[in-house]
Amino acid sequence: MDLYKVLNINNKNVSQDEIEKAYKHLIRKYHPSLNPGDKLAEEKYKNIRLAFEVLSNPELRKKYDNNENLKLEIPLDEDFSTSKDDFVNISNINVSDTNESISKINNDINHYIDVDFYEAFFGTHKELQIEIPKKCLYCLNPNTNEIEIDKKDNCKICKGMGYFKSVEKIKFYIPPGVDNGYLIKICKNNENNWLCNVNIFIRFIPNEFFERKGKNIYIEIPITIIEAILGGIIDIPTPEGIYEMRIPEGTDTGSVFKIAGKGFSQLKKNTRGDLYVKVKIITPKNVDEQGKNLLLKFSQMFPYDPREKIRNISSNKVKQSSI
């Protein structure tokens, strides 16, 4: 059996998108619900699904194209069979050889995925390949979507288990605002024939410059002594680009300013958190003699004692202890 011909594809170099397009067209055409009682359509339906199982997986497709591990002969309808020597590459789909019965496979598969700061901020599309137990296509009754016991007991694909393990490509979207532990649940259904759900948990990776606390973002920005004294406009990096923020005259180191609406989106809400900017005055190093003289003159012109209150507290304590 030529799996490409099963999907009406004549060129083996077609893209994955073209394979998926051909599959979706044929699977609707031969679906048992549209062809009740038609055994030929039912058999074609199974072959189409089997062909897609192999060709939609890049690794399996490569092995199939290289004629690797062609061990299992598949009985085909006369429209698709060519000779008794035709085989289908099924061995590399990783058929389960455990004693676990299909009825016991009901636990969800949990998978963790790392999401960095910007992916969590803007949202992103992700793709995973996960090994998932699936109902055996040749034991499956397409009308009821249930495993037929008579077929299962004699099935060479699933070896009587009613299922096999398949490496599935899962595409999903991570919305803006997700945080550590956020759950994306992809459920089993009659289309994918999974025997369990897939739970994808977000593992948030902290950023080197931005600190996240829930919906809010915090960042520390260095400023010069001159900027602290005179005030002015300074550039603030945000996830969305540079934001110009004005700081007032006489800004102290450690002062915090809020930029509203520049934080993370809140899930299921049309609101956003804020960005908090903490400024830190950086003292210049290696000041020459001319600079030192200018600073000395400045201190004489504007004398002030920033530790005056601290001295008063210390003096009171000394007076109280001497009584």
- Please determine, for residue 283, whether its predicted confidence score (pLDDT) is greater than 60: yes
CA quadruple 227, 230, 232, 236: dihedral sign: positive
CA distances from 118 to 205, 249, 320 (A): 10, 33, 56
CB 255 within 8 A of CB 279: yes
Burial 223-255 (b: 16+ CB within 10 A, else e): beeebbeeebebebebbeeeeebebeeebeeeb
The closest of 73, 264, 104 to 174, measured between CA atoms, is 264
Q: Phi then psi for 200, rounded to 5 degrees?
A: -110, 115
At 151, list the tokens. Answer: 């077929």
Instruction: Kindly report, residue by residue over 145-161, the tens digit of the pLDDT.
Output: 777 777 777 776 777 77
CA distances from 195 to 75, 130, 140 (A): 25, 13, 13
> Which residue has 């803007």 as its token pair?
122
Instruction: Kindly report, residue by residue over 16-43, the tens digit of the pLDDT.
Output: 888 888 887 887 778 766 677 777 887 8
Domains of the chain, with CATH numbers? 1-91 (1.10.287.110), 94-205 (2.60.260.20), 207-285 (2.60.260.20)
Confidence of residue 215 (pLDDT cuts 50, 70, 90): very high
Instruction: Kindly report, residue by residue over 92-110, the tens digit of the pLDDT.
Output: 323 232 223 444 445 788 8
pTM score, two decimals? 0.61
CB 194 within 8 A of CB 133: yes
CA distances from 283 to 224, 228, 286, 289 (A): 7, 11, 10, 16
